[in-house]
Amino acid sequence: MSHPGLLPANKANGRRCFSLPDGPAAFPNLRTRRMCMKTRLFVPTFLLPLFTLACMAAGSALAAEWKNLDEAIQKRGTLRIGLGFATPPMNFLNDQGEPDGFDADLARALAAKMGLRHEIIKVNDKTRITSLVSGETDMVLSNMNHTMSRDAQIDFSDTYLNDGKRILAEKGRYRELKDFVGKRIAISQGSNAQQAVAAALKKLGDPEPKVLSFQNNAECFLALKAGKVDGYTNDTIILAGVSGGDPAYEPVGEVYSPTYYGIGVPQNQSAWRDRVNAALRTMLIDGSYQKIYDKWFGEKGRYPLPPAPPLPIWAE
> What's the pLDDT tens digit per position in 253-274?
889 999 999 999 999 999 999 9
Give dist(CA 117, CA 136) in Å, integer: 16
What CATH number has the domain bearing residue 267? 3.40.190.10
Question: Binning pLDDT at 50, 70 and 90, where does residue 18 land?
Answer: very low
153 shares its domain with 181: no
- The pLDDT, as a whole number, for residue 295 is 96
- The boundaries of the domain holding residue 19 are 7-65
Residues 167-209 have pLDDT tens digits of 999 999 999 999 999 999 999 998 999 999 999 999 999 999 9
Give dist(CA 124, CA 128) in Å, integer: 6
Residues 128-144 have pLDDT tens digits of 999 999 999 999 999 99
100 shares its domain with 171: no
Residue 201 lies in a domain: yes
| Averaged pLDDT, 81-106 | 96
Mean residue pLDDT of the chain comes to 85
- The pLDDT, as a whole number, for residue 52 is 55
- The pLDDT, as a whole number, for residue 308 is 78
Closest by Cα among 194, 189, 221, 196 to 125: 189
- The pLDDT, as a whole number, for residue 45 is 62
Specify whether the CB–CB gap between 135 and 145 falls below 8 A: no
In the 8-state DSSP scheme, what is residue 145?
B
Residue 305 lies in a domain: no
Closest by Cα among 105, 145, 130, 101 to 234: 145
Q: Where are the alpha helices (DSSP H) in 45-121?
A: 48-65, 69-76, 102-113
Instruction: Check residues 225 and 308 and name the one with the higher pLDDT.
Output: 225
103 shares its domain with 220: no
Residue 152 lies in a domain: yes
Give dist(CA 183, CA 128) in Å, integer: 30
Count structural domains, the chain: 3
| Averaged pLDDT, 211-220 | 96
Closest by Cα among 129, 106, 107 to 120: 107
- The pLDDT, as a whole number, for residue 220 is 97
129 shares its domain with 271: yes
252 shares its domain with 186: yes
**Which own/partner contact pairs does 8-16 have at CB distance under 8 Å and 24+ positions apart?**
9/40, 12/42, 14/44, 14/45, 15/42, 15/43, 15/44, 15/45, 16/42, 16/43, 16/45, 16/48
- The pLDDT, as a whole number, for residue 210 is 97
Residue type, 260: Y
Segment among 1-10, 215-224, 225-234 with least mean pLDDT: 1-10
Sheet holding 184-188, edge to edge: 117-123, 78-84, 139-141, 249-265, 155-170, 231-235, 184-188, 210-214
- The pLDDT, as a whole number, for residue 119 is 98
Residue type, 23: G
60 shares its domain with 95: no
129 shares its domain with 177: no
State pTM to two decimals: 0.74
CA distances from 65 to 27, 54, 81, 270 (A): 10, 17, 23, 16
H or E element that contains 128? helix 128-133
Question: Binning pLDDT at 50, 70 and 90, where does residue 213 land?
Answer: very high
